[in-house]
Each structure stands twice: as structure tokens, then as C-alpha cells.
Structure 1
Amino acid sequence: MLELVNFSSVPGFLLIFVRLTAFFATVPIFSYRNIPNQFKIGAAFFLSWIMFYTMDIPVLLFDELFILLLVKEALIGLLLGLIAYIILVTVQVAGGFIDFQMGFAIANVIDPQTGAQSPLMGQYFYTIALLFLLTVNGHHLLINGIFYSYQTLPIDKLYSLGDESFVQFIMELFNRMFLIAFQLSIPIVGCLFLVDVAMGIVARTVPQLNVFVVGIPLKILVALVALFVFMGMYVVLVKNIFELMIKSMESLMQILGGT
């Protein structure tokens, strides 16, 4: 029985397992706190086992180079998952813009997935985005992304993160993230800005009216109506966010791989 086991491939399997485990630690849906750690480790193990028999695993030794390869695989998995998570957090940033105009900026809620505070409308947008992601099998695309990453980033090579193209990619990614967040929030924020202008005119023409008492409920009502009207556009923008997520993961792999 021992003769059937090729122990020379064990280091290669460990490298695959480390990349997948690090990926599941940061990628959306799989990294959330309400998913047991045993499930994350088990899913990473079985996916690593499947990938182990679909790739040509080079013969590696347990030496100093192997330790560097382990660190490299962990960084690649963390970066790929983190890129996907940062892009998905765009909807929470957009919700923060809307909450500030609605007067809900102080009413933050605890995100059960991450344990951090998030804007009220941001959490609403984020929940819809997650449901849409599961509906279109976006989590399968994320797993496909980490699977095909081994074609661009083999496990037996080291890569550099100090390249100028990598820094430029991160800056452009954050730029596009805030741009998409602005596009998500501008319809509702624009409507609330017009409400502020109207309330300013009323305050000048009718000084006896307390605009602070009337303005806050009015802004909440207008924001909810605008949210109902622009919800179709929001779904289209969320689809663009998913496309950007996959393309960003591919771009990151190409930059790290030097292609």
C-alpha cells in the first residue's frame, strides 16, 4: 500500500492546499464568520485533492525554497480573495454615501458576516449583492478563478510584488471602486440634494417652518421612493461589479505572472 503513495508529490499538494486555504480566508461568502472553520478547511482540502490530480505537480523538496514557496502561495491566495472582497465592498461604500445624506450615518449595524460595523443602506445593498452573486453562481466563478490561477502562477516559481505595474494596478482598482460606488449612490444622493435645495428655499420663504423637523422624515421618504425606482439600475451595476471582480483577479494573476 505504501508503494502506491508518491511521497515526492506531498510538497506540491501542501502548496495547493495553502493557496486555497488562504483564498477561502478572504474571498466573499466563503470567508464569513458564520461559516464554520472546519467547513472552510475541509472544502480547501478536498478541492486541493481534486486539483492535485488535474495538474502536473513538480517534484519539490522540504528545504528553504519550499518555505518561500509556502509564503508565496499564502500571499497569492490572500491577494486574490482580498481583491474580490474589496470590489464587493463597493456597495457598502455606496450605502455609506446614501446614509450620510439620509441622516442614517449614525445608525450603523453590525455585519454578521465580518463582525464589523457597516452603514444601514450599505448592509441592505450588500445583502442583495450577495444574494445576486449566489443566484448567478458567482461563487462557482470564484472557484474557477483560483483553479485557473495555477496556469498563470505555477506553484514552483517565485514572484515579486514590488513591481511598478502591481502598485499601479492597486491604485486603479481603488479608483474604479470609488467610481462605481459614486455611480451606485448618485441617483439617490442627487434626489436628496434637490430636497435640501427645496428645503432651503422653503426656509427662506417660510421662516416659521422648522425645516429640521420636516426635512429629516421627508428625506427618508424621498430616499426610499428613489431606491424603489432605481433598483433596476442597481442590479445592472452589481452585474458590472461581478464582471470587474473576475477581470481584476485575472489582471492580478497576469501582473504577478509577468504576462
Structure 2
Amino acid sequence: MLELININSFPVFLLILVRVLGFFVTMPLFSYRTIPVQFRIGISVFLAFIIFYTVDPSGIIFDELYLFLIIKEALVGVLIGLIGYIIISAVQVAGGLIDFQMGFAIANVMDPQTGAQSPITGQYFYIIALLFLLSVDGHHILIDGIVNSYSFIPIDAFIPFENGSIAEFVIRAFNSMFLIAFQIAVPIVGCLFLVDVALGIISRTVPQLNVFVVGLPLKILVSFVAILVFLSLYIVLVKNLFRYMFEVIQGLMMLFGGA
């Protein structure tokens, strides 16, 4: 209690709070508009209070480098959350690819969680992915990651940006996001491609049939059936997606710590 009210420990607590707040600003599931700001600030202060007693504050001095430490902590929290958001965005990218083939590309919906436009199928997949994340206690793993980040990135150390490995790591993660999105979308997109081939053959053999009138409802029907059939495969891909997201976050924290 005496340490809590000691004014000399406040700079250390502020550094911890900045990293945790940056994490909750960009991390999926915690950064959405549907979660009250008061809750995010409150849980950030609570976590910072817990982490404060696990961090060695001996190397923190309130001098001219303290401002750079605050900037570093904000960058660490924001980038850890942002890399997780980039990976999980593969679900919405896959939904955009599917909607383009279904004919739903123009019928985007407003995502109430982010405030941005989202494809219909992508939003449907995204909700399932978030429910799956909650069902397997993935949000606890995310919080555990920011708590254990201090074992990889000391609070008094700076990020080694000079070797360029961090930028290369982020680019590889970005490329993997598109690869995962393609793996999620390829079963439905492949079925719709076969429908296009069949409609093309029909239009050549039966010119009297207007394929533009028949094609769109047929592709929507095939898409719904394919989504229903491949839904179990989608759950497996989402499970691998979250596993990869946790690995990427851990790898990024190791690079931030100079490992």
C-alpha cells in the first residue's frame, strides 16, 4: 500500500498503462465500439495495477529519455494489437472474395463494431469467428499475451528497429493473411467458378435461355449450399487462423525484445 501511494512509482505505472491502453485500442474484440470506453479504461488500469507488481522498476528514471519510453510503450501496445487485427481480417477478406463471385459485392453492410463497411458474407464469417474465439477463451489468451509481453520486452528497453527484421516480419504476416483468406474462400469460389462454366456451356448450347436472369439466383443458391457444406471446414481454418495469430503476436514481441 505504501508503494502504491509513493509518487516515485507513478512513472513506472504510467508506462505500463500506456502499453495496455495501446493494446486495447487496436486488439480485435476489445477495440470495438460496442464495448464501452469506460470499461476499456477501467480494465486497462486494473491490468496495469496487476502488472506493476511483476515489473522491475529499478531501471526507470524520470529524465529526458522518459518521453521516448512512453512513445515506445504506446508503439508496442498498438503494434501488438494491430498485427492481431491484420491476421483476423483474413476472414473479412475471404468474405469479400466470396461476395464478389456471388454478386453481393455492391451490397455491403455497416459493421457496428468498427464503423466501416463490410461484405455481407465476410460479416457473417467474422461473427462466427469471434464467437469461436470467445468459446475457446481466446480473449483470455490475448490478455495473457499483453501481461506476459514484459518478459519479452523489458519496460526500460527500446525497440531495435535498425536491423529491419521487424518490417520483414510484418510483411510476411500480411502476406500470410491473404493466403489464409484465399484458403477460406477457395471452396465457395471454386463452386461458383464451376457454376460460371456450366452457365457458359448452357448459353452456347441453348441460346434462347437468358443466363443473366438465371445465373444470379442460381449462384446465390449454390453459394448458400456450399457455405452450409463447408462450414465445418471453415471452423477448422478459423482455429488455425487464431493459432497463427497467437504465434505471430509472440514472434513480434520477441523481435521487439531483440531476440
Which interval holds the TM-score relative to the shorter structure?
over 0.9
Using the TM superposition, give the Cα deviation of residue 55 of structure 1 relative to its aligned residue in structure 2, in angstroms: 2.5
Structure 1 residue aligned with 2:136: 136
**Separation of aligned partners in 2, 1:152 and 1:223:** 45
Using the TM superposition, give the Cα deviation of residue 3 of structure 1 relative to its aligned residue in structure 2, in angstroms: 8.2
Q: Is the 1:9–1:60 Cα contact (8 Å) retained in structure 2?
A: no
Structure 1 residue aligned with 2:78: 78
Structure 1 residue aligned with 2:220: 220
Instruction: Note the alpha carbon deviations across 1:100-119, whole angstroms, 9 max, x for none.
Output: 00000000000100000011
Using the TM superposition, give the Cα deviation of residue 32 of structure 1 relative to its aligned residue in structure 2, in angstroms: 0.4
**Which is further off, 94-103 or 58-67?**
58-67
Using the TM superposition, give the Cα deviation of residue 159 of structure 1 relative to its aligned residue in structure 2, in angstroms: 1.3
Q: Is the 1:23–1:77 Cα contact (8 Å) retained in structure 2?
A: yes
**Separation of aligned partners in 2, 1:2 and 1:181:** 52
**Separation of aligned partners in 2, 1:112 and 1:202:** 42
Q: Is the 2:23–2:77 Cα contact (8 Å) retained in structure 1?
A: yes
3-state secondary structure, aligned to 2:65 = helix
Instruction: Note the alpha carbon deviations across 1:43-100, whole angstroms, 9 max, x for none.
Output: 1001100111223222533322110000000000000000111111110000000000
1:17 is the counterpart of 2:17: yes
Q: Which amino acid aligns with 1:62?
A: F
Structure 1 residues 258 and 201, CA, compared in 2 at 3 Å: closer, same or farther? same
**Separation of aligned partners in 2, 1:83 and 1:55:** 24
The residue correspondences of 1:52-67 to structure 2 (distance < 5 A) are 52-67=52-67
| Aligned-residue identity in percent | 63
Report the count of equivalent residues: 259
Structure 1 residues 98 and 3, CA, compared in 2 at 3 Å: closer, same or farther? closer
Structure 1 residues 109 and 70, CA, compared in 2 at 3 Å: closer, same or farther? same
Structure 1 residues 167 and 240, CA, compared in 2 at 3 Å: closer, same or farther? same
**Separation of aligned partners in 2, 1:22 and 1:48:** 12
Structure 1 residue aligned with 2:102: 102
Q: Is the 2:3–2:9 Cα contact (8 Å) retained in structure 1?
A: no
**Separation of aligned partners in 1, 2:144 and 2:25:** 16
Q: Is the 2:32–2:113 Cα contact (8 Å) retained in structure 1?
A: yes
**Separation of aligned partners in 1, 2:166 and 2:194:** 41
Instruction: Note the alpha carbon deviations across 1:10-51, whole angstroms, 9 max, x for none.
Output: 111110000000100000111001111111111100110011
**Separation of aligned partners in 1, 2:3 and 2:67:** 27
**Which is further off, 227-236 or 162-171?**
162-171
3-state secondary structure, aligned to 1:58 = helix
Structure 2 residue aligned with 1:123: 123
Structure 2 residue aligned with 1:237: 237
Q: Which amino acid aligns with 2:108?
A: N
Alignment gaps of 5+ in structure 1 = none
Q: Which amino acid aligns with 1:17?
A: L
**Separation of aligned partners in 1, 2:188 and 2:174:** 22
Using the TM superposition, give the Cα deviation of residue 128 of structure 1 relative to its aligned residue in structure 2, in angstroms: 0.3
1:248 is the counterpart of 2:252: no
Q: Is the 1:9–1:59 Cα contact (8 Å) retained in structure 2?
A: no
Using the TM superposition, give the Cα deviation of residue 8 of structure 1 relative to its aligned residue in structure 2, in angstroms: 2.1
Structure 1 residue aligned with 2:50: 50
**Separation of aligned partners in 2, 1:242 and 1:248:** 10
Structure 1 residues 92 and 3, CA, compared in 2 at 3 Å: closer, same or farther? closer
1:172 is the counterpart of 2:172: yes
